[in-house]
């Protein structure tokens, strides 16, 4: 595999903006097919359409669960994940219960991650557990989450949703998303069977390359076309 194709297979092309229409979904699925990325990551109602659009390609369909703030009950998250699998999703990105994590209710957090992990695996899907590092900021909490995900058999730990907006000193809301420090920490404290996905703020080829060096094997991206077009120029490869 060439370096550009390898980078393409790192990318989960995100189609998650609240304003995306069905037409936008189809357009972005075509971008994913064109560049032969690892997957698209779509909202639950869009799974069937994405599966239909990407039939015959090697692009998997992924789905977010409890998105973006993780507030659904465990039972609802399990139902939502199972329904996404029934609809054809092969990858599930679930947001943890952030409030329970910040409050230190680790039994609840572990039981929920395990319940969703188990239903995904029973349905032949992989699971990526989103920590939302803009909210979960303490190193010890992130380490604890890595240990939990390793223990319950999750496939990926993931930094962010890209929607973890925090009020800034000037009153605006913004987010950091994935950082190199968090990717390195998550790689260090997750077991060898757990991969790391970065998401939120990975907008350039250099961003993607730095995250790969730090230990990420997947990255969420909306700037897929720009990133891979730049990669083809820089590395002198045409993947079409």
Domains and CATH numbers, the chain: 3-235 (3.20.20.70)
State how far the alpha carbon of 44 is from the alpha carbons of 8, 39, 67, 91, in Å.
Answer: 24, 15, 10, 12
Residue 173 has pLDDT above 80, yes or no: no
What confidence score (pLDDT) does residue 54 get? 98
What mean pLDDT do residues 125-149 have? 98
The rounded distance, in Å, linking the Cα atoms of 23 and 178 is: 29
Long-range contacts of 62-65, Cβ-Cβ distance < 8 Å, separation of 24 or more: 62/12, 62/89, 62/90, 62/91, 62/92, 62/93, 62/128, 63/87, 63/89, 63/91, 63/92, 63/93, 64/16, 64/92, 64/93, 64/94, 64/95, 64/161, 65/92, 65/93, 65/94, 65/95, 65/116
Q: Which residues are catalytic?
A: 93, 158, 197
pTM of the full predicted structure?
0.96
What confidence score (pLDDT) does residue 99 get? 98
The rounded distance, in Å, linking the Cα atoms of 94 and 130 is: 6
pLDDT for 184-195, tens place per residue? 999 999 999 999
pLDDT for 65-91, tens place per residue? 999 999 999 999 999 999 999 999 999
């Amino acid at each position: 595999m060439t370096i550009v194709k390898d980078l393409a297979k790192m990318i989960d092309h995100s189609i998650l903006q609240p304003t995306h229409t069905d037409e936008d979904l189809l357009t972005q699925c075509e971008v994913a097919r064109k560049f032969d990325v690892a997957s698209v990551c779509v909202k639950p109602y869009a799974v069937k359409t994405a599966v239909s659009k990407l039939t015959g390609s090697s692009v998997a369909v992924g789905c977010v669960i409890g998105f973006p703030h993780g507030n659904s009950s465990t039972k609802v998250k399990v139902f939502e994940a199972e329904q996404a699998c029934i609809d054809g999703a092969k990858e599930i990105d679930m947001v943890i219960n952030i409030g329970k994590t910040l409050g230190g209710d680790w039994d609840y957090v572990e039981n929920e991650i395990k319940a969703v992990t188990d239903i995904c695996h029973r349905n032949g899907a992989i699971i990526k557990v989103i920590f939302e590092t803009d909210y979960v900021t303490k190193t010890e909490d992130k380490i604890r989450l890595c240990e939990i995900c390793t223990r319950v058999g999750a496939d990926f730990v993931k930094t962010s949703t890209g929607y973890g907006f925090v009020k800034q000193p000037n009153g605006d809301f913004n987010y950091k998303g994935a950082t190199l420090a968090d990717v390195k920490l998550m790689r260090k404290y997750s077991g060898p069977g757990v991969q790391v996905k970065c998401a939120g703020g990975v907008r350039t080829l250099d961003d993607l390359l730095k995250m790969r060096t730090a230990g990420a094997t997947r990255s969420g991206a909306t700037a897929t076309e720009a990133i891979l077009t730049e990669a083809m120029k820089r590395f002198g490869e045409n993947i079409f």
